[in-house]
Amino acid sequence: MEHIERTLDTFLLSQSSVIVIKGGWGVGKTFFWESYLSKRKRTNPITQTAYCYVSLFGKGSVEQVRSGILASAVRLVTDEEVERRLESALEKNDSVYGGLIKKYSASAETKARNLMPSINRWFGRVKEAPLINRISGLVDKTGYGFVEDYLICFDDIERKGKGLSIREFMGLVDELAKRKKCKVILIFNEQSFDDEADLKQFNSYREKIVDMELLYDPSPLANFNLVFGESDFGFLAAKKVVESFNIVNVRVIKKIKQVLDAHLNFFNAYDQKVSYEFCLHAAVLAWAHYSVGSHPSCYEIKKYMSGGSWINLLTLSSESNSEELKAFALSAGELELTGSIFDGPIINYLDCGYCDDDVIKDCITKLQHTVVRRRMSAEWDNAWNLYRNSFENDYENIAGVLRSALDEGIPESNYGDFLTAIDFLTEFGEDVDHWVDAFIEKNQEEIQAGGFGNSYDVKNLRLKSGLREIVGVQYVQTIDETVQRISNGGNWDAEDLEFLIKQTSEDFYQWMKSNPKNLNQKIRKGLFLFRNYKPVTDAQRLVVNKFLDAVVSALNKISLESPLNAKRIKDLYSI
């Protein structure tokens, strides 16, 4: 809108007196003008004595318009300059009360004050007219006599009262511009005149009175930037909604901001994805609630968004649906909208005008938990990808993600991931007891119900013991159960080895003679799997060798029982 601002700058410095700012309904003509004026006053002082904003909404006479000028006047220059201009006006004034003024020779302010009793007798009452803050008590007609070199904005011309004719109003504008040297801004939407005769009459005076005309036709982004700053809560989400739904009505954009601001303090300590989801849905639903026109209501939008992927919205664009529904579907598709836990509380706020704090906080907590789990799950996958696809010394990167995931309880949703994490960290000498204890504490009911299966495959002894204690099972380990697990998966833990090395040659003999199922596999892939075990210390090597010697001793004992058994032991086990 820089080109419009430059035109307004030129207008204020030129000989032109009357300018029109026209545009569609709700596009923010007034908001733009006030924003421009505020910035202009800060950066480049305005030379007019005072500024007045007067809405013609409901005004039924020229006298009411004049009263509006006096009631809204705000000075633009210094006190000293105001006094100088007032004194000049008093000296030049030759109205019906001009003779009274000549009786006084004090300062301009004293003259104005001393003038009051006489004016009161002339007009029957006294009324404040804020020409400036230091002068008060002038009645309307007298005060209007001092209106000169003002900057005056008349808004809502098309919404004037029926008692005020366009001819009378334009006559007042002409008087202000030519006789009183005022700069006049007229703001209206020429498409909104209820009476065609009013528009026709306005156009008949347009050429004679109006010097310049501006069409304010902003883009959605331009109006958005008038309302939102980059640091405002929900800036990015609201911007996407405004652009996707082509929202140019500045009042609606301001309503969106009000809804977001009302919820700002709830989101101070939470993930940005949580606040973004809220802001996106709040902006869409606020648009539907406050906008005038053909579009789905916020209740219909909630129904359309609930359940399934945002891609489902594309089915709304079929030929069987209305044009407004198809338009909504396209915009919602751009935003990838789906149902949100926030939809209900947002609509409740729009209906009632207040937040249900407990409901909002509960929704935030639930979504925060979901967002954190999603983020940690992604980081979890990245960590294992790093482990599988790199030979860098990046243990700390991998372990850091695993620690964070365990802190957040993420792997609990996948029991296997939890076991993998604690086993990985344990293997590198890290203490995982506090994570194991937290897991047991949090999942007691599910453990009791058997939700995590048996504890046979659990390597961590603390976790295994905790699981067994909760389910109340007095676990009795046997040779057959142990070697069956080992032979099936080729995996064993310290508890398995500790159990096996405690067994004697006689124990193994009795087990072999009990004719268990898959005996050959259990011996070859279970017990003799430890032939490939590489102990770290000599002591461990001696213990494992002692256990294997006990197994061989049991087999030798069986080979002595018959020639057939001797052949079996020789052929099958090379003993």
- What is the C-alpha separation between 282 and 277, in angstroms, rounded? 8
Say if CB 132 and CB 50 are below 8 A apart.
Answer: yes
Q: What is the dihedral of CA 62, 65, 71, 73, to 10 degrees?
A: -110
User: How far from the centroid of its chain's Cα atoms is residue 478's Cα?
Assistant: 59
3-state DSSP helix/strand/coil % of the chain, to nearest 5: 65, 5, 30
- What is the C-alpha separation between 37 and 40, in angstroms, rounded? 5
Question: Which band of pLDDT confidence, cut at 50, 70 and 90, is reported for residue 546?
Answer: very high
- Taking phi over 0 as left and psi of -120 to 50 as alpha, with beta for the rest, 353 belongs to left
Name the residue among 487, 428, 434, 505 with its Cα closest to residue 463.
Answer: 434
Say if CB 340 and CB 305 are below 8 A apart.
Answer: yes
Per-residue pLDDT of 247-277, as tens digits, reads: 999 999 999 999 999 999 999 888 899 999 9
Q: At what angle do helices 196-209 and 166-178 cross, to 10 degrees?
A: 20
- What is the C-alpha separation between 497 and 474, in angstroms, rounded? 20
Q: Check residue 489 and give its pLDDT.
A: 79
- What is the C-alpha separation between 534 and 187, in angstroms, rounded? 90
Strand, coil or helix: 100:
helix
* Distance separating the N- and C-terminal Cα atoms of the chain: 96
Name the residue among 331, 291, 287, 286 with its Cα closest to residue 313.
Answer: 331
Q: Check residue 118 and give its pLDDT.
A: 41
Say if CB 518 and CB 525 are below 8 A apart.
Answer: no
Per-residue pLDDT of 162-182, as tens digits, reads: 999 999 999 999 999 999 999
Q: Which helix (H) or strand (E) holds 546?
A: helix 538-559
Question: Which band of pLDDT confidence, cut at 50, 70 and 90, is reported for residue 518?
Answer: very high
Give the pairing type, strands 212-215 and 183-188.
unpaired
Question: Which band of pLDDT confidence, cut at 50, 70 and 90, is reported for residue 96?
Answer: very low
Name the residue among 357, 304, 291 with its Cα closest to residue 332.
Answer: 304
Name the residue among 330, 336, 342 with its Cα closest to residue 309.
Answer: 336
Say if CB 437 and CB 422 are below 8 A apart.
Answer: no
Residue holding tokens 């926030």?
342
User: Does the pLDDT at position 375 exceed 90?
Assistant: no
Q: Which helix (H) or strand (E) holds 553?
A: helix 538-559
Predicted TM-score (pTM) of this structure: 0.60
Residue holding tokens 């809204």?
72
User: Does the pLDDT at position 515 exceed 50?
Assistant: yes
**Residue 180 vs residues 51, 275, 362, 518, 572: alpha-carbon distances, Å:** 14, 54, 63, 113, 121
- What is the C-alpha separation between 492 and 486, in angstroms, rounded? 6
- What is the C-alpha separation between 298 and 346, in angstroms, rounded? 10
Strands (E), 210-259: 212-215
Question: Which band of pLDDT confidence, cut at 50, 70 and 90, is reported for residue 516?
Answer: very high
Q: Check residue 139 and give its pLDDT.
A: 41
Q: Which amino acid is at 410?
A: I
Per-residue pLDDT of 189-200, as tens digits, reads: 887 787 788 889
User: Does the pLDDT at position 102 exceed 60?
Assistant: no
User: Does the pLDDT at position 133 exceed 90?
Assistant: no
User: Does the pLDDT at position 105 exceed 90?
Assistant: no
For 457-474, letters b (16+ CB in 10 Å) and e give ebbbebbbbbbbebeeee
- What is the C-alpha separation between 188 and 190, in angstroms, rounded? 6
**Residue 561 vs residues 41, 557, 567, 569: alpha-carbon distances, Å:** 113, 7, 11, 11
Least confident range of 306-310, 496-500, 555-559: 306-310
User: Does the pLDDT at position 120 exceed 80?
Assistant: no
Q: Which amino acid is at 265?
A: N
Strand, coil or helix: 160:
strand
Name the residue among 25, 53, 277, 324 with its Cα closest to residue 184.
Answer: 53
Say if CB 555 and CB 567 are below 8 A apart.
Answer: no
